[in-house]
Amino acid sequence: MFLACLLCTLLIADVSRLSRAQPGPQAAPMVPKVVEALLVSDIHFEPFWDPAKVSRLAASPVSAWARILSAPDSPNRQQAFDKIQDACHARGIDTSFPVLQSSMRAIRTHAAGARFITLSGDLMAHGFDCKFKKLMPAATAAEYRAFTVKTIRFVLAQLQAAAPGLRIYTALGNNDSDCGDYKLDANSTFLKQVGEAVTQRFPSAERAAALASFAQTGNYSVMLPAPMTHTRLIVLDDVFFSAKHTACSGKPDTADQDAQYAWLAAQLQEARKAKQNVWVMAHIPPGVDAYGTLAHLSGPCGRKPTMLLSSDRLAQTLEGEADSIKLGIFGHTHEDEIKLLESGEDAGTTEHASGGIPVKVVASVSPVNGNLPSFTIAQIEPATATLADYEVIAGSNRVAWHQQYEYRTAYAEGSFSAAAVAHLIGGFSADRDERTQPSQKYIHNFSIGNPVPLLSLVWTGYVCSMAHQTAEGFSSCACGQQPQSGDRH
C-alpha cells in the first residue's frame, strides 16, 4: 500500500512537471477598444515668411532649415513679405514658421496617444511658384524642383519630430507640385523624389510597391499598423481628376486618369478578396464645390453647380465598394466638414445609408482664411475600422491651443459610421432654420475659430452638398422639391 501511494505521488509529480514544461496555447494579444490617430491637412508651410532667408534655405540641406528659420527676423521682414504677397496676389497668410512650431508643440501635447498620422495634402504654401520666382529669378527649373522637394521634406520632418516613431501617411494636394498649382506630370522626377520621403518609414515589405506607384501618379496602398486589424489605406493623388489639372506644360492632360482608376479598382478588389476594411484618402473631396456654387448672390439655382472634380467617376467608384470602405479622409476646403457618399440605389432612405461611406474633411493648419490652425484626433474601433469619435484641437502661436469640440458631444451621434452620418445629415435637412443644437454646432465649427457664422447664410444649400455628390442630385435637392436626406438624384 505504501509503495502504491509512493508511486502515485511520483506519477502526479511527473505529470505536474511535464505540464509546467509544456507551454500552453499563447493568449491572444488584447486589442484595445479604440485606437487614436492624428488627422492633419493643408499645412501650407510658408518658407517665404522672411524673404531674406530664402536664398540660404535654397542653398542648405533640410537639416539646416530649422536653424535658419529660427534666426531673428530680418529688419525689413514685414515689408518684404507684404511686397511679395501683393506681387503674387495672395489671398491671405499661410503657415509661417512660428505657427508651424506652435502647431507641432500642440501635437506633442494633445496627440501623444496617436498610433499613426494621416496628412491629406497641401504641404506647400499658396502661390509657391510665384513667390520663389520673384525672390530667385535666376533659378532653373531643377533648382525650383529641389526647393519644393526640400519644403515637403522639411514639413514631414517637423511632423515626425513632433510624433517620433509614428508612420505618416501623406497624400499630395494641388499646391504640392514642382511646376505650379494644379500642374503635375505623371512619372516625374518630382513624384519619385517626394515618394522617397513619403514612404521613408514604411515597412520594407510595403515600401517598394508604394514607392513605385507613388512615382507614377502619387498613389499607394498600405496596411494600417497594429493594433488596427485588417485595414488597408488607399491613398490617391486625385489632383489628376480635377478639371483644373494640367501637365507642367500647361496643356490639359487626362491620359493618366484611366491608369489611376484601374489601379484603384485593383486595390479595392484585392481588399475585398482578402476581406479587409478600407480607408481611402486623397486631397480633393468628390462632389459639389460649396463655396464656388453658393457664393453667388442669386443663389445656386438657374446654373450648374461648380464641381470639385472633373467627373463623378471617383464618387461612383468608391460608392460601389461602400461595404468595404469604412472612411474617406480629404482636405482642400480648409473647413471642418462632414459628407456622405451614397450610391443611387441606396438613395432616399436613411435605413439604407449604412451602405454609404462617411467622409471626414479635415480642417486646415493654415490660417489663410482667417481661421485658427487646427488638427483632429480620431478615436477608431480597430476591429471594424469605424471612426468612433474625434475631437478638433485649435490654436496658434498667439492663441492657446484647446479642444474646439468633440464629435459625439456636439452632434449627439454614437459614432461616425455611415448610418450615424446619414442620420445627422437627415436632421440638418429637416432643420432649415438652424434651430437645433447639432445644426448650430456645425455652423459654429465649420470655420474653426472664425466668430462669423457665414455658413448660416447658405445653410439649406450647403446641407444639400453634404450627401448629394452629383450636379443633378445637388440641384434637385437645392432647387427642386426637397427630397429626403441621402437622395442623390
- pLDDT tens sequence across 91-121: 999 999 999 999 999 999 999 999 999 999 9
pLDDT computed for residue 44 by the predictor: 99
Q: Are 88 and 131 in contact (CB under 8 A)?
A: yes
pLDDT computed for residue 256 by the predictor: 82
What does the block give as the cell for 290? 460649396
pLDDT computed for residue 349 by the predictor: 42
pLDDT computed for residue 348 by the predictor: 39
pLDDT bucket at 300, cuts 50 / 70 / 90: confident
Average pLDDT for 67-83: 98
Residue (of 429, 419, 456, 430) closest to 441 by Cα position: 456
Q: Is the pLDDT of residue 345 over 80?
A: no
CA distance linking residue 141 with residue 179, whole number of Å: 8
pTM score: 0.91
For the chain, which domains are there?
30-479 (3.60.21.10)
Residue (of 440, 384, 439, 444) closest to 415 by Cα position: 384
DSSP 356-371: SEEEEEPPPS--TTSP
CA distance linking residue 449 with residue 367, whole number of Å: 10
CA distance linking residue 379 with residue 299, whole number of Å: 38
pLDDT bucket at 344, cuts 50 / 70 / 90: low
Percent of the chain topping pLDDT 90: 84
CA distance linking residue 394 with residue 411, whole number of Å: 19
pLDDT computed for residue 354 by the predictor: 54
pLDDT computed for residue 31 by the predictor: 65
Q: Which residues pair with 280 in a beta bridge?
A: 234, 328
Q: Which residues pair with 325 in a beta bridge?
A: 278
Q: Are 331 and 121 in contact (CB under 8 A)?
A: yes
Average pLDDT for 336-361: 74
CA distance linking residue 31 with residue 285, whole number of Å: 32
pLDDT in tens, 214-234: 999 999 999 999 999 999 999
CA distance linking residue 322 with residue 335, whole number of Å: 24
Higher pLDDT, 300 or 347: 300
pLDDT in tens, 234-274: 999 999 999 999 999 999 888 789 999 999 999 999 999 99
pLDDT in tens, 392-419: 999 999 999 999 999 999 999 999 999 9
Q: Classify strands 374-381 and 357-361 as parallel, antiparallel or unpaired.
A: unpaired
Average pLDDT for 24-43: 80
CA distance linking residue 159 with residue 171, whole number of Å: 14
Average pLDDT for 3-13: 39
pLDDT computed for residue 26 by the predictor: 56
Average pLDDT for 364-368: 99
Burial of 474: CB neighbours in 10 Å, binned 0-12, 13-18, 19+: buried
Q: Are 171 and 280 in contact (CB under 8 A)?
A: no
pLDDT in tens, 425-445: 999 999 999 999 999 999 999
Work out the mean pLDDT of the chain and round it to a whole number: 91
pLDDT in tens, 372-395: 999 999 999 999 999 999 999 999
> Which helix or strand (DSSP H or E) is residue 40 part of?
strand 35-40
Residue (of 471, 470, 467, 461) closest to 487 by Cα position: 467
pLDDT computed for residue 29 by the predictor: 58
Beta strands in 227-372 (DSSP E): 231-235, 277-281, 325-330, 337-341, 357-361
pLDDT bucket at 295, cuts 50 / 70 / 90: confident
Q: Are 334 and 364 in contact (CB under 8 A)?
A: yes
Q: Is the pLDDT of residue 85 over 90?
A: yes
Q: What's the gap between Cα 91 and its chain centre?
A: 23
pLDDT bucket at 296, cuts 50 / 70 / 90: confident
Average pLDDT for 171-189: 98
pLDDT computed for residue 303 by the predictor: 87
pLDDT computed for residue 421 by the predictor: 98
CA distance linking residue 485 with residue 468, whole number of Å: 9
Average pLDDT for 74-89: 98
Lowest mean pLDDT of 38-42, 196-200, 300-304, 465-469, name the range.
300-304
Longest Cα–Cα distance of the chain, Å, equals: 107
CA distance linking residue 315 with residue 463, whole number of Å: 18
DSSP 381-402: ETTTTEEEEEEEEE--SSS--E
